[in-house]
Structure 1
Amino acid sequence: MTDQYKKWANLNVEDIEPMDVTDIEKARMKQRIINKKIPKIKRPVWGIAAVALMILVGSATTVSFAIPSVASQFPFIKGIVNYFTSDNDKFYEQYSDYATDIEQLEISNGITMMIENAVYDGNTITITYALETEHDLGVNPRVGQFIDVEGSVAIGGGDSLQQISPTKYVGLARVTPTFKKDLEKVQVQWSPKSFTNDTTDETVNGDWKFNFELEKVQDEIQLVNQSITDAGMTLIINEIRKTDVSTIIKMKQITESRLLKKWHLASPALAIRDDVGNVYHVVDNGGSSMDNGVTTEWSQSIGVIDKRATKLYIEPTMILSLGEAKGSEKYKMKTIEVSID
């Protein structure tokens, strides 16, 4: 076992303090990618009993592991999702109970990357991962290339990667693929290609490659089909999908062409509460449009709905934007009341 492995294996998790998510990370988690495809990565699925494989790529060395080999010796990466939860935010409360263990590890160019686990709730794929690095990646490193999902026609998502010690990071990535039809299983590929220090712009290239399959968590679909129109925008709540992990609100937005001539993007932000006093943390899954934003399909997620609740109050705010830091306007729309089946 190398010194790098020993440091990771001997790390006392109790000595690591969870850190608040910064504004930069929050912004990164809200990234939207509309009608854009990430290049496909064709790779075979890793076998559970795979042995270590070493590949020389230029000056970088890549080593891949799968359970039950070296990956099982790193207690550091257990329970990564806990770094992204708090007493006031229960969004990921059920994540660990339904996530699929992945535990694939790759080493390239001085950076060890390991995917702990992942879950597919029928709408969004959530992945937890960790890094250990010999390089200075700063506080908020950027990932070079995002996740791809086989068969998707559009993808939206983002990630949060936070430093927990000078050489170690934990990450949570969310990606919402758009398919032509609902799938019971999804094939996920991820080749990050590089990590960049957000302050110095120093980039470390490497050859980390992951490929795994996820089964959909069973869901219950409630059709809603309630709409509201204001200021040239119509928002339709199509359906609510309830799973044991999360609740997904699927929407369609129709925007008048005159608005899109002035604004680069129109998008909804939801505030959601129920009739027993809960206010839910809302996560934006992004959206996709095939007609340059005139009609856009969006989804946003909250945690599991309180079993006592009989109604949800959805308060949309429409955001018209010229692009990052170029100006925006907000329009608060009327509350949509939805009875819960």
Structure 2
Amino acid sequence: MKDIYELFNGIEVDTNVKEMSSVSDIEKKKIFKELNHRIGKAKKQSKWKRALSVAIVTFGIITPAIVGLSFTAYAEDIPFLGNIFNFFSSDGSYEGYDENAEKLDLVQESNGIKISINDTVFDGKTLYITYMIETDKDLGDSPSVNSTPVYGDSGLTGSENISRIEEGKYISVMETEHYYSNDLDEVDVNWNIESVSTEANNNGTVYDGNWNFQFKVKAVETQYVALNETIEKGGMTFTADNIAITPMSFILSYQHVATYDIINNWDNQFVEVEVKDDLGNSYKSLSVSGYGNPKFSKNWTATYNKLYPNATKLILTPIIELSDNETIGYYKNGEQIKANYRTMESEADYEEIRLEDITVELK
């Protein structure tokens, strides 16, 4: 869950206070009486809400102006929590998305659960939707909406960030990417939700319902830079296809092809690209997705944070990661029995191949 203390970093506070206001013993007793009352109800509150109560009381001891704040002034009364993109942007993931978003304000309620779509942004490749869930039902800490928005005729892949901001209220950003080779200018979106569950993939407690949304959205203005740069090394061929620059991000499209030697000796291939500019700025990869033959070749799309306006060049450094899955046993002949996964702390074989830099002229 989002740490409320990260969110307080977004509040401007005057730290140059020259004079502290005194607080009477009666006022202090009132504050701590209210705090004790709130703690008694804390078992039914989310952790961040309890932290906010304590934070408000702490500030209240400093100045009477803060003491006057209502102790029910939680998430809905803090301005930056009204912006879902900003809520999830503490790491820079959605910086600039809100000012380029189209407001929808669509609401559907079914089986005691209200789902509200707030905003949407489409960059030609990926659709971003912010939404809120409100209910008296117990959906746990991280419920799952068991449906993906549909648009176009190609395959789609989806992911989401979801956070409970208080009891019975959740906010989320849903990302859905299409597999078209070309970007789309406008899409008709259908999002038909048939269930909400306390765990992913319709697991845990499942609440059936009918939440149907339809809307149209245009892609934000995009500038394309053709690359067509190819590098071969260590049995891998990497090709940088193009970069799409939007007002809030840039998207690198690339592909790789592996030789049979790589295929026969490694279980997994993953290709990412480090990016920096001629000003010394490094760009964070916000998402990476790929489709194709998992053994032989893949087309990749990587989205990065907003381009610095004065940058004139980008330096791309492709990194190829080759890895093996876990060994879970051995056959009688001594051959390894492989799992279809690799753990984070795996000691199975791993190799990283860094390719030479590719310089992209932007201006």
Length-normalised TM-score, structure 2:
0.66
* Residue equivalent to 1:96: 98
Aligned 8 A contact 2:186 2:216 in 1: yes
Matched with 2:54 is none
Quote how far apart the aligned CAs of 1:282 are. 0.9
Task: Give the AA of the match of 2:313.
Answer: K
Q: Which sections of structure 2, spanning at least 5 residues, go unmatched?
A: 8-75, 326-339
The answer as to 2:191 corresponding to 1:169 is no
Contact 1:225-1:237 at 8 Å conserved across structures: yes
Q: Deviations over 1:23-45 (max 9, x none)?
A: xxxxxxxxxxxxxxxxxxxxxxx
**Alignment RMSD (CA, Å):** 2.8
SS at match of 2:211: coil
Q: Distance in 2 between matches of 1:287 and 1:134?
A: 39
Q: Distance in 2 between matches of 1:114 and 1:105?
A: 4
2-structure distance, mates of 1:288, 1:139: 31
Q: Equivalent pairs: percent with the same residue? A: 26
CA distance in 2, matches of 1:330, 1:197: 38
What CA distance in whole angstroms lies between the structure 2 residues aligned with 1:132 and 1:139? 13
Judge conservation of contact 1:156–1:288 (CA < 8 Å) in 2: no
Structure 2 counterpart of 1:251, which letter?
A: Y
Q: Matched residues in 2 for 1:306 and 1:251: separation?
A: 22
1:162 maps to a residue whose letter is S
Find 1:253's aligned residue among 229, 246, 256.
Answer: 256
Alignment of 1:93-242 (within 5 A): 93-151=95-153, 153-179=154-180, 181-198=182-199, 201-242=204-245
Q: Which SS does the other structure have where 1:197 is aligned?
A: strand
Structure 2 CA distance, aligned partners of 1:231 and 1:196? 45
Residues 135-164 of structure 1: CA distance to partner in whole angstroms, max 9, x if unpaired?
A: 22222223322222132x222231111111
Equivalent-residue separation in structure 2 for 1:231 and 1:203 (angstroms): 48
CA distance in 2, matches of 1:273, 1:176: 25
Stretches (4+) displaced over 6 A: 74-77
Change (3 A) 1:207 1:324: farther
**1:17 offset after TM fit, Å?**
3.9
* Correspondence for 2:85: 81
| Displacement after TM superposition at 1:261 (Å) | 4.7
Q: Which structure features the higher share of helix residues? A: 2
Looking at structure 2, the residues matched to 261 and 144 of structure 1 have their Cα atoms a distance apart, in angstroms, of: 37
Structure 1's 19 and 150: CA in aligned 2 closer, same or farther, altered over 3 A?
A: farther
**Contact persistence 1:124–1:285 (CA under 8 A):** no
Return the alpha-carbon distance in structure 2 between the equivalents of residues 136 and 259 of structure 1.
49
Report Cα offsets for 1:96-143 as digits up to 9, x if no partner. Answer: 221111111111112111111111111211111111122222222233
- Per the alignment, residue 303 of structure 2 pairs with 301
Give the alignment's TM-score, normalised by structure 1. Answer: 0.70
1:324 to 1:211, Cα distance in 2 relative to 1, 3 A: farther
Which residue identity lines up with residue 117 of structure 1 in the other structure?
D
* Structure whose alpha-carbon radius of gyration is higher: 2
Counterpart contact for 1:101–1:117, Cα < 8 Å? yes
Contact 1:275/1:312 (<8 A) preserved: yes
Quickly say closer, same or farther: Cα 1:204–1:231, change in 2 above 3 A.
Answer: farther
- AA aligned to 1:191 is N
AA at the equivalent of 2:237: T
Asked if 1 retains the 8 angstrom alpha-carbon contact of 2:273 and 2:319, the reply is yes
Deviation at 1:257, TM superposition (A): 3.7
* Equivalent pairs, count: 269
**Which SS does the other structure have where 2:193 is aligned?**
coil
Q: Secondary structure at the match of 1:94?
A: coil
Q: CA deviation at 1:292?
A: 5.1
Structure with greater contact order relative to length (CA < 8 Å, sep ≥ 6): 1
